[in-house]
Structure 1
Amino acid sequence: MNPDYAVHPLGDRAVILKWEQKISMAVHQEVMKTYHSLLSRSCPYILDLIPAYASLTIVYDAAQLRCNERVPGLQWMTAYIREKTTTQEAIASPAPRELQIPVCYDPSLGLDITEMAASRNVTITDIIAWHSQTIYTVYLTGFLPGFPYMGEVCAALQTPRRQQPRLHVPAGSVGIAGIQTGIYPLASPGGWNIIGQTPLRMFDATRADPCYCRPGDRVQFIPVTLEVFKQIQQQP
């Protein structure tokens, strides 16, 4: 069985597996299948596995691998990956987590929601309904620690990034860029169109698992009022 990805070196301590480069649930499922297959085998040389839309980065211990296997890391890792991902042995992927994330779409928090509604000749209520009625898949986290890239938003919501990025986007801001939606876990400059804000902390370095979202999660946004938003925000 020939794998449907290509293996490329990524520096001298990592390789990247690349599938067809597009945002596709089918492609991402193959990424996650390979991710869980390698994760379940607990190879002592693999230090980290980083799934994305259509790729999987594998960071490995080059020094230990060369010392023990006496072959270049890229050569050994490529052979290992090919062997473990083309086997007929079934590796069951865990069921995705189902997350409900509260979002307040009040214009005081959704900095671009009024403009988005006006540009489409619809109401803010329409924008909220379109955004909250879809269940999104977290394809990857990145850009900022714990920033979840999710898709796909419905055609009516698809919006290019802002031509002029903001210098300050508050933590928890929920935005749209192209066919993606995401959440800023930390205050940051950014060019996504902000339509709301969640009171949840999307990244907390003090937690054992600091990122609220993980690749593969399924997320639905739950609209809440400004009053409820403030109540949740004040909870410890």
Structure 2
Amino acid sequence: MAGPDRGVVTLTLDAPANRNALSAALVAELAAALEEAGKDDSVRAAVLTHTGTTFCAGADLREPPDPGAFVALLRQVVELPKPVVARVTGHVRAGGLGLLAACDIAVAGSAGGTEASFALTEVHIGVVPAVISLTLLPRLDPRAASRYYLTGERFDAAEAARIGLITAYATGADDVDGVLAPVLDGLRKAAPGALADAKKLVTARVLDAFDKEADAYVALSAHRFGSAEAREGMAAFLERRERSWAL
């Protein structure tokens, strides 16, 4: 955790060799950093960013987090009394989209020739985007959710903005930090208490999903990860071969 810089603290996913996959350790570390930021009166907002070419590749298939712990992390982002702003300059896959959707504001761009890209690839390995639906479905355009949940297609930042996954994106000569600058300036000017209460207004639908659906989605996630399809899909992924069901 770096900062705060004029009230804005930066939290960096820093496991580039593992494409910042969500391991049990990474989930615990991010939860601890968020808790610290939430308690720090000098912090007005948190920026969640990453090292390497991938913001987050989803669950670490070698050391996956407990679904309950991941749900708790997503809820922690949503309930944090400080806005959480995602800064994405690389790829986002599977569970990483759930983390992105938990953030209040998300801005994407490019860095070092890598353009931001997104995909819900779960069905390709025999699982489903169950737990992350808590943050995704209240935000996404329903038709787009149907398409990308079912096909696992990759899409770019312009499409991510169109369907409600991200707030804005940098284009052409624009720089992602240039797009972020007025956002952060606006947060710095906001009264802390008013900011916290305003966040409650815009996250109410997301928290309603947690209250109503979290247990069912955790159970579905556990069911799918324990299935024969998941065992085959994850083995194929790790062995870099085609899945047995692919046509």
TM-score normalised by L of structure 2 = 0.26
Point out the structure with the larger helix share. 2
TM-score normalised by L of structure 1 = 0.27
Point out the structure with the larger strand share. 1
